[in-house]
Amino acid sequence: MNEGLFPNIDWQDIIEATNETLYMTGISVVATFVLGILLGLVLFLTSKDNVWENRTINFIISAFVNIFRSIPFIILIVLLIPFTKAIVHTMIGENAALPALIIGAAPFYARLVEIGLREIDKGVIEAAKSMGARTGTIIWKVLLPESMPALVSGITVTAIALVGYTAMAGVIGAGGLGNLAYLDGYQRNHNDVTLVATIIILIIVFILQFIGDFVTSKLDKR
Amino acid sequence: MITLSKVSKIFRASGEAIQAVDDVNLSINQGEIFGVIGYSGAGKSTLIRMLNGLETPTEGSVVVAEHNISKIKGAMLRKARQEISMIFQHFNLLWSRTVHENISFPLEIAGMPKNERDARVKELINLVGLEGRGNAYPSQLSGGQKQRVGIARALANDPKVLLCDEATSALDPQTTDSILELLVDINKRLGLTIVLITHEMHVIRKICHRVAVMESGRIVELGPVLDVFRNPAQQITKRFVRQVTEPEATKEAIVHLAERYPEGKVIQLTFVGESTENPLIANLIRNFDLDVNIVQGKISQTQNGSYGTLYIHIDGKNDEITRALEYIEKQQVGVEVIDNE
């Protein structure tokens, strides 16, 4: 079969590249989820009429989020090279892609988190306050559970964007399916490799979307 | 139980100062059901929210269940709020939690261990009549059931005061009545002090002992419900009282009657307490040479006695009518001649 439809495919390479893509996506999604929720909570809680209302902090975080959300990812990777070298000590391999992936995705997700939190009925937060809840309790028992469907559908969108980012990171040496498609598929003109890499990425995206939709609908009791 | 002295609240929005509450002095007794009525924007919502510190007064002091709510902050305020529960117009339940978990929430906040919580929640579910609905989500409940959950949740930590923020305004009349009955029941059984705000005089009439009427941030009238019904001093109070005593149809009936009988007078009679039981109309017909025609009548029950209004049309010689009016006034019945114009 290799000689027929896909003459240039080394399935061992494909599996390895897929694993690398899954690894990069997995770690960065988890880190983005945590970091994005933290940033989103701070954005929400420091906004007007909220428990930690603070214009300065809100302005700084908001500016940070907007700046990192606006830089095209491929440029962000380059900009972050010194930072990446300082913490990962290399520019090659999957781990080298992680700082840029997380810094690129977390601000984007933070905005989605903020939107999700804003959609919570103000009255529910007020009810919790009227029961004597401390802010920590309001965050853990009201804000996060009540916005969970939005948080999950938001991380689904972000995860899919991250799959795309890993492919871009691959082009400059981070490994994964993007790297394979570029080095093997494009530079050696092996179109079948590019095609297979594309199909696998599509499958990953479909699976992510399916899981995201399923979990969201299970969580939503409204 | 509750004392407000010289309480004012000014909101500043984009350079403009809005006086929401203006120099309110008020004292509410233990075990009382106290109603505050006013149109929207009268400041009643701000007033009730100052009782649990959701708003802080610009001036004056608010003392509830021996807590100086307007002064305390942080842990002290949170502790005090466990004694001052609140229910809301839109129920404000957590959709992500079942009925059981919603009622359990304030107990979690108070730090009660899990097994005690479960027992307490079961008790509360029975108290508000939601047996068997413990595992339902709020979205599966009707409005009345949601408010029952709200009430159970509010009662969880054995509060001393229950604040009701337009608690029945989102409910249909029948459900409103059943929720009001539940509140009266709780008030009697637990000796709970209840403060409620509303724009419906029906709610005041049905369950309150005393009522305060609010208009542009001030309390313009205050007293036992029956007294306010009998002798509404302010124009706004009269309008609220009419909500209950004078259905829309009455006005039409009076106009119609005036057209049909240009002679004679339409009279509004107001009965309070025992006087509702006097055979006044029979005496009128027996003792005076008059034609008496009943237009419309209604008796309303309040927490401190009954209250009735009766519209009659009387026709006869002018001096006979005057004598009749004097006679009615002697019977401790309020009389008001309605102008036909």
Q: Residue A6: inside a domain, yes or no?
A: no
User: Could you tell me the CA-to-CA distances from B335 to A88, B49, B309, B311, B332 in Å, in that order?
Assistant: 92, 40, 10, 10, 9
Cβ proximity of B209 and B33 under 8 Å:
yes
- Domain termination residue (choose one: B200, B226, B243): B243
- Domain membership of residue B295 as a residue range: 247-338
Q: Are B259 and B236 within one domain?
A: no
Chain A and chain B share a number of CB contacts under 8 A equal to 64
CA–CA distance, B240 with B63 (Å, rounded to integer): 29
**Minimum-distance CB partner of B92 among A126, A133, A222:** A126
pLDDT at position B164, please? 96
CA–CA distance, A126 with A73 (Å, rounded to integer): 40
CA–CA distance, B181 with A37 (Å, rounded to integer): 45
A148 with B82: Cβ contact below 8 A: no
Could you report the per-residue pLDDT of B34-62, keeping only the tens digit for each? 999 999 889 999 999 999 999 999 999 99
Q: Are B91 and B115 within one domain?
A: yes
Q: Are B210 and B259 within one domain?
A: no
pLDDT at position B96, please? 95
When the pLDDT of each residue in chain A is averaged and rounded to a whole number, the result is 91
Helices (H), chain A: 11-45, 55-70, 73-79, 81-88, 94-118, 122-130, 135-137, 144-169, 176-180, 191-219
Cβ proximity of B85 and A131 under 8 Å:
yes
Residue A5 has pLDDT above 90, yes or no: no
- Domain termination residue (choose one: B227, B243, B259): B243
CA–CA distance, B32 with B292 (Å, rounded to integer): 42
Nearest CA-CA partner of B276 in B300, B311, B260: B300
Domain with residue A76: its CATH number is 1.10.3720.10
Residue A1 has pLDDT above 50, yes or no: no
Q: Residue A4: inside a domain, yes or no?
A: no
- What three-state secondary structure class fits A179? helix
Q: Closest approach of chain B CAs to the CA of A40, in angstroms?
A: 20
Domain total in chain B: 2
Domain with residue B259: its CATH number is 3.30.70.260
B310-327: average pLDDT:
86
Q: Which of residues 130-169 of A touch B (CB under 8 A)?
A: 130-134, 137, 141-142, 145-146, 148
pLDDT at position B149, please? 96
Cβ proximity of B61 and B5 under 8 Å:
yes
Q: Which residues of B268-299 are buried (b: 16+ CB within 10 A; e: fewer)?
A: bbbbbeebbeeebeeebeeebebebeebbeee
Using an 8 Å CB-CB cutoff, list chain B residues near A50. none
Residue B334 has pLDDT above 90, yes or no: no
Q: Are B121 and B163 within one domain?
A: yes
Share of chain B above pLDDT 90, in %: 61
CA–CA distance, B144 with B127 (Å, rounded to integer): 15
A123 with B88: Cβ contact below 8 A: yes
Nearest CA-CA partner of B101 in B142, B147, B156: B156
Cβ proximity of B127 and B155 under 8 Å:
yes
Report the amino acid identity of residue A180: L
**Nearest Cα residue in chain B from A219:** B96
CA–CA distance, B179 with B82 (Å, rounded to integer): 22
pLDDT at position B142, please? 94
Q: Are B203 and B253 within one domain?
A: no
Could you report the per-residue pLDDT of B128-142, keeping only the tens digit for each? 999 999 999 999 999
Could you report the per-residue pLDDT of A64-123, keeping only the tens digit for each? 999 998 999 989 988 998 998 898 888 788 888 899 999 999 999 999 999 999 999 999
Q: Closest approach of chain B CAs to the CA of A133, in angstroms?
A: 6
CA–CA distance, A46 with A57 (Å, rounded to integer): 7
Say if A51 is an interface residue toward chain B (CB within 8 Å).
no
Q: In sequence order, what are the residues at sequence separation of 6 or more whose Cβ sits closer than 8 angstroms to the Cβ of residue A183? A: none
pLDDT at position B341, please? 46
- Domain membership of residue A122 as a residue range: 11-219
DSSP annotation of A123: H
**Minimum-distance CB partner of A123 among B78, B90, B157:** B90
Share of chain B above pLDDT 70, in %: 96
Could you report the per-residue pLDDT of B258-281, keeping only the tens digit for each? 777 777 788 888 887 766 667 888
Using an 8 Å CB-CB cutoff, list chain A residues near B147. none
**Nearest Cα residue in chain B from A141:** B105
- What three-state secondary structure class fits A189? coil
Model ipTM value? 0.87
A131 with B106: Cβ contact below 8 A: yes
Q: Which of B75-84, B244-253, B320-329 is predicted least confidently?
A: B244-253
CA–CA distance, B288 with B316 (Å, rounded to integer): 9
- Per-residue pLDDT band for B248 (boundaries 50, 70, 90) equals low
Q: How many CB atoms are located within 10 Å of the residue B324 CB?
A: 22
Domain total in chain A: 1
Q: Closest approach of chain B CAs to the CA of A138, in angstroms?
A: 10
pLDDT at position B304, please? 76
Q: Are B251 and B233 within one domain?
A: no
B96 with A146: Cβ contact below 8 A: yes
Cβ proximity of B83 and B190 under 8 Å:
no
Q: Are B205 and B281 within one domain?
A: no
Question: B interface toward A at CB cutoff 8 Å?
Answer: 52, 54, 77-82, 84-86, 88, 90, 92-97, 105-106, 108-110, 137, 139, 153, 157
Report the amino acid identity of residue A21: T
- Per-residue pLDDT band for B165 (boundaries 50, 70, 90) equals very high
